[in-house]
Amino acid sequence: MRINKHLYLLTFILIAFFTSLDSSQAQDELEYPLAVAAPGLVSYMANLAWLNNPANDNFFQEEVIAKENVKIVKRGWWKNMGLTFNLNEANLKKKDESGNVFFPKYNFGAAFDLGSIFDTPNEKKIAQRKVIMAESLTQQAKKDIRGQIIQMYQEYLTTIEILKLRYKSESDMKASYALINQLYKSGDKRVGFKDVLESSLAQNNASESRIKANKMMTIAKMKLEDFIGVKLEAVEAKFKRN
C-alpha cells in the first residue's frame, strides 16, 4: 500500500509539472472584436453588421481554434515522452547469503521520440502561421463589411435625393396641369385640349417616377437595416445623441 501511494504521488507530480508548463497561456484572452475602431456613423453601422451577422462568428471561431492549436503544439513534445515504473516484487525474495537484494526494488525508465520532438518547433511555426492566416481573413472580412456599408448607405442617401427630386417634379407637374386646365376651361385661346392631355400625362409620369423612387428608397433602406440588424432610425438617433 505504501508503494502504491508513492506511485500515485509520483504520477500526480509529473502531471502537475507538465500542465504547469503552459499555465501562463491557459486563459483565452481573445475577445470578440468590433469591425471598426474609428468613430463615425459608417463605423458604427459596420460594427452592428459585424456583430449581428451570425456568419461572421465563423471568423472569430477560426481564430480561437488556431490559437488553441498553437497551445496544443507547444505542449505536444511531452506526449512523445514515455515514463515507466516497475516494482520488482519477484526479486524482493531473492537474497544472497548477506541478505542483500540482487535487483533494485524500483525501476524507472524514460523513452523519447526524438524525431517528433525535433519536429515540434516546425509544427509550432505552422500553427502560428495559421493564426496569422485566420486573423488576416478576419481583417479582410471586416474591410469587406465596411465597404458594403459605405456602398449601401450611399445608395440609400442617393435614393433619398432622387426621391426629393421626384417629389419636386411631381409638384411642378401638378401645378402646371392645374394652370393649363384652368386656362383651357376659361377659354384661353393659347391653350388647347391637346395641351391639357399632354400636361395630364406629364403629371402622371411624374407621379409614377415618384412612386418608383420611393420604392427604390424603401428597398435600399430595408437592405441596409437587414444588414446591420436594427432599424436605421434607431441607429441615426443613437448616433446623433452620442
- pLDDT tens for each residue of 47-87: 888 888 888 888 778 888 888 888 877 766 555 555 555 55
Q: Are 103 and 88 in contact (CB under 8 A)?
A: yes
Please say whether the beta carbons of 28 and 65 come within 8 A. no
Which pLDDT value is given to residue 136? 85
Q: What local confidence, expressed as pLDDT, does residue 29 receive?
A: 38
Cα separation, 129 vs 125, in Å, equals 6
pLDDT at 179: 94
User: Which pLDDT belongs to residue 97?
Assistant: 47
Cell readout for 206 is 411624374
Cβ neighbours of residue 210 under 8 Å, at least 6 residues apart? Answer: 163, 166, 167, 169, 170
pLDDT, position 128: 83
Instruction: Count other Cβ atoms within 10 Å, centred on residue 166.
Output: 21
Q: What is the pLDDT of residue 3?
A: 45
Name residue, grid cell 502537475: 16
Quote the pLDDT of residue 155.
95
pLDDT of residue 27: 38
At 16 the pLDDT is 52
- pLDDT value at residue 22: 45
**Positive/negative CA dihedral, 178, 179, 181, 182:** positive
Which residues in the chain land under pLDDT 50? 1-5, 7-8, 17-18, 21-32, 92, 96-97
pTM of the model: 0.63
Q: What is the mean pLDDT of the chain?
A: 75
Q: Where are the domains of the chain?
A: 25-241
Residues near 203 by beta carbon (within 8 Å), at least 6 away in sequence: 170, 173, 174, 176, 177
> How many other C-beta atoms are found inside a 10 Å radius of the C-beta of residue 203?
22
